[in-house]
């Protein structure tokens, strides 16, 4: 059973105040995989606007079920590639390979395990797994944007999760049918 979890409304990241932009649950078939939250300095409903500034951002994941970490790493890589053109994907390939190595240090992630993906201006992308920083920061700003693009880009892994993270309210089909 997936653990109960509530994301805080505000967090601190390297002395910067971030607010919860949105949160949701990633489903695969009917199963909850993880809960996700997006924190930003200035709330936005538009991913492209977020990529234009150099403000701190965080994606916080809390696992809802057991998953092999190498499988999660592959899913991340696929989600990133689905939202990049070939030239950008080729340019970021060394960073993607390094990120995959981060996940191979863990055999599996269990319900309740947490991952944070932070963009820290002047430092880079910092990945934290189970409360421990995993490796050196990724310096390329494009890498963080590509990484969170798997949830917020044009081809997200889950459109409902994208809308939830962006704080976009969409009427569901039954709402539209009743109008």
| pLDDT score recorded for residue 4 | 63
Residue 20 near residue 9, CB atoms below 8 Å: yes
Mean pLDDT in residue range 128-138: 91
| pLDDT score recorded for residue 68 | 86
Does residue 3 fall inside a structural domain?
Answer: no
CATH number at residue 163: 3.50.70.10
Does residue 136 fall inside a structural domain?
Answer: yes
Does residue 67 fall inside a structural domain?
Answer: yes
> What are the residues whose beta carbons fall under 8 Å from the beta carbon of 20, sequence distance 6 or more?
7, 8, 9, 10, 37, 38, 39
Does residue 44 fall inside a structural domain?
Answer: yes
Q: How many CB atoms lie within 10 A of CB 51?
A: 18
Tokens representing 126? 């910092």
Choice between 150 and 71, residue whose per-residue pLDDT is larger: 150
Residue 58 near residue 19, CB atoms below 8 Å: no
| pLDDT score recorded for residue 7 | 96
Count the domains in the chain. 1
> What are the residues whose beta carbons fall under 8 Å from the beta carbon of 58, sequence distance 6 or more?
11, 13, 18, 37, 38, 39, 116, 117, 118, 119
**Nearest-angstrom CA–CA distance, 15 and 22:** 21
**Nearest-angstrom CA–CA distance, 163 and 46:** 10
Does residue 28 fall inside a structural domain?
Answer: yes
Per residue in 87-124, pLDDT tens?
888 888 888 888 877 777 777 889 999 999 999 999 99
Tokens representing 80? 């990133």
Does residue 47 fall inside a structural domain?
Answer: yes
Does residue 2 fall inside a structural domain?
Answer: no
- Domain span including residue 155: 10-177
**Of 54, 61, 62, 166, which is closest to residue 120 (Cα–Cα)?**
54
Does residue 5 fall inside a structural domain?
Answer: no
């Amino acid at each position: 059973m997936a653990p109960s979890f509530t994301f805080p409304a505000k967090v601190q990241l390297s002395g910067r105040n971030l607010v919860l932009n949105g949160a949701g649950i990633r489903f695969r078939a009917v199963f909850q995989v993880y809960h996700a939250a997006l924190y930003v300095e200035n709330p936005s409903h538009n991913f492209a606007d977020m990529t234009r500034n150099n403000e701190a951002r965080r994606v916080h994941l809390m696992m809802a079920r057991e998953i092999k970490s190498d499988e999660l790493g592959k899913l991340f890589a696929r989600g990133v590639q689905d939202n990049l053109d070939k030239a950008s994907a080729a340019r970021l390939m060394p960073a993607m390979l390094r990120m995959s190595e981060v996940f191979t240090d863990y055999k599996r992630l269990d319900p309740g395990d947490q991952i944070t993906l932070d963009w820290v201006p002047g430092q880079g992308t910092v990945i934290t797994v189970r409360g421990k920083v995993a490796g050196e920061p990724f310096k390329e700003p494009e890498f963080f944007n590509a990484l969170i693009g798997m949830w917020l880009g044009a081809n997200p892994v889950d459109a409902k999760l994208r809308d939830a993270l962006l704080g976009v309210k969409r009427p569901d089909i039954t709402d539209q049918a009743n109008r």
